[in-house]
Amino acid sequence: MGVKRLLASYRSIPATASVRLAKPTSNLFRARAKRDAPGLDTSGLTNVISVDPEACTADVAGMCTYEDLVAATLPYGVSPLVVPQLKTITLGGAVTGLGIESASFRNGLPHESVLELDILTGAGELLTASPQKHPDLYRAFPNSYGTLGYSTRLRIELEPIKPFVALSHIRFHALDEMVAVMDRIIDTGGLDGEPVDYLDGVVFGADESYLCVGVRTTTPGPVSDYTGRGIYYRSIQHEAGVKEDRLTMHDYFWRWDTDWFWCSRAFGAQNPRVRRWWPRRYRRSSFYWTLVRYDQRFNIADRIEKRKNRPPRKLVVQDIEVPIERTPDFLEWFLDNVPITPIWLCPLRLRDQEGWPLYPIWPGHTYVNVGFWSRLPLGVAEGTNRSIEAKVRALDGHKSLYSDSCYSREEFDELYGGEAYRTVKKTYDPDSRLLDLYAKAVQRR
């Protein structure tokens, strides 16, 4: 029924209008041009179709959120191979827009666990893509951001899990030492002889950084709760050595969502007096997104800045990846030039040796995702975004396209698939019913 509704909405869109989703929420941080044409009706594509715990697979509708997907798999003792940090990220969105999390150093990126998927193409065809069927579309779909089509069903791999995650937060006073330990954990798959299941990190400054090492366990015992007054990223900090913690598997998956990493501080949600009265159901990324949309609509933040005789501010919100050996260089440059902390670190290593043409990082090589999110004065922000792109490119890295990008067409083609993208685009969207990737990611159409 959901697919029929989607196809009917596709046919109702005028041939002269671009096809886009009619979607009430988004995890994109780039503005889009307003449009009058109706969008695709995805309201029937939000469920988990089936879970097979023996085969460790699930069939999932494209607009199903990870919150709903995890809720469906946890009772079977399995989970997706990678669970992105925010509850309202959809499976289809993570595949076409690239997702990442602390299992990515061993499980790669979400699209690498897709066994097959059904895609509504720009030509209005519903095709099943896999390594064997339409392999060109299957390979080019990740990082295409809806410009090659929209997934309606995805069959994904799952993995067994345990009820709890034991955490070790390791303090470092030097960035190169922290990255060296990260590299050893990834190469050996463990720490001090014990296998590691999850690995990410946080940089508060050049002399204060942490690796957060997670090990799944069945051992019962007390667990922390960061959905109340406690704040997860603050719990990581300590003077020296290792700080231990424990979370349920469910709460580990969503440890970053409650405070939108650390961005809830912009709304006052970390103020103890405010937090006491802030309902728990509103301590989640989707509600903070609602506040952001109100701000964008009514220019609330800019009005406040104007009253204080300060210039308007613009978002600097990016996730970039650089080879692990270049990570200390990037972090040192960033801390010297960009006034944003904390910084999130998440290592990744592709599982698939064939690679993915629209996000061409080297298979078999470790990269580190560096995430940073804040607002800077307008002129500073624009220059900062450009300088970050230049630095990342100089270090043989890549940048995710969910936020503002400043690349020229030539730079963009070199970094994000170029001729390979155009070939697949011409095959599956010959009349350009869907937007071009450059137009969407850089020109904000």
For the chain, first and last CA: distance in Å?
A: 30
Helix (H, G, I), strand (E, B) or coil at 377: strand
Q: What is the pLDDT of residue 35?
A: 59
- Which regions of the chain are under pLDDT 70? 22-38, 300-302, 304-305
Q: What is the pLDDT of residue 297?
A: 78
For the chain, list the domains and their CATH numbers: 2-161+418-441 (3.30.465.10), 166-255 (no CATH), 294-405 (3.30.70)
Tell me the pTM. Answer: 0.94
Please give the Cα distance from 296 to 302 (Å, whole number). 9
| H or E stretch covering 439 | helix 437-441
- C-alpha closest to that of 198 among 113, 100, 110, 112: 100
Cα torsion angle, 396, 406, 257, 172, sign: positive
193 in the Ramachandran plot: left (φ > 0), alpha (ψ -120 to 50) or beta?
A: left
- C-alpha closest to that of 204 among 242, 175, 166, 247: 175
Find how far residue 7's CA is from the centre of its chain. Answer: 28
Please give the Cα distance from 251 to 233 (Å, whole number). 14
10 Å CB burial of residue 136 (0-12, 13-18, 19+) is middle
Q: What is the pLDDT of residue 293?
A: 82
Express each pLDDT in 310-345 by its tens digit.
Answer: 778 777 889 999 999 999 999 999 999 999 999 999
Calculate the dihedral angle through the C-alpha atoms of 132, 135, 137, 141, rounding to the nearest 10 degrees. 90
Express each pLDDT in 181-190 by its tens digit.
Answer: 999 999 999 9
Q: What is the pLDDT of residue 299?
A: 76
Residue 436 DSSP symbol: P
How is 135-154 classified by DSSP, letter by letter?
A: HHHHHHSTT-TTSSEEEEEE
| H or E stretch covering 346 | strand 343-349
Helix (H, G, I), strand (E, B) or coil at 223: coil
Q: What is the pLDDT of residue 404?
A: 86
